[in-house]
Structure 1
Amino acid sequence: MRPLPRLALLACALTTTSCASRLQASPAAPQLEMPTEARQPCELHRLPPAPTQADLEVGYAARGAQIVACDSARRLAVDTLDAEHALEEEARRRRR
């Protein structure tokens, strides 16, 4: 076997290991657990096949309540994500 491929392989291995040893071990950034309410899919009321005026009124009120609940769950997920990003940024500042 020619010495050049062996030498190239050795040089590549040494370069990789020397770079890997210079990395500083940083503490893992804290992760927050996403609330289960934020993970649930939103449900919307569906009208029956032949809706009456009462079905429409009930459906209107039910959908309104479900949209508010869905928006609250979405806001909870966004707040959790924002808080996690703030903790990550704080951890980055401490490392510097």
Structure 2
Amino acid sequence: MLVTTLSAQVVLAVFALVYAASVFAAIVALRDPQASAGLKAAWATALLLLPPVGLVAWEAARVVDHRAAHRPVTVVDRTAYLADRAAHVASGSARV
């Protein structure tokens, strides 16, 4: 089973929907007797180029999620955490 992050799954799902729609449109264009040869060639080219573009987008989403998950804690992150914790304690809803 392939384990991926949610954003990579969203990118893959959107890519699959776009690819399915373009396959349908290409079939319609290829079957149209009045469609020009240029239009048919454009659809064939788009279908050949769409899978690599979609896979690159999926891989980019996976890499971005991986980097975000393994980003070291910075001083800004620590300061924001401490400020949030202080506000939480000051509101009286936290156990100290």
TM over 0.5: no
Q: Which has the higher helix share?
A: 2
Q: TM-score, normalised by structure 1?
A: 0.39
Normalising by the residue count of structure 2, what TM-score does the alignment of the two structures yield? 0.39
- Flag the structure with larger Rg: 1
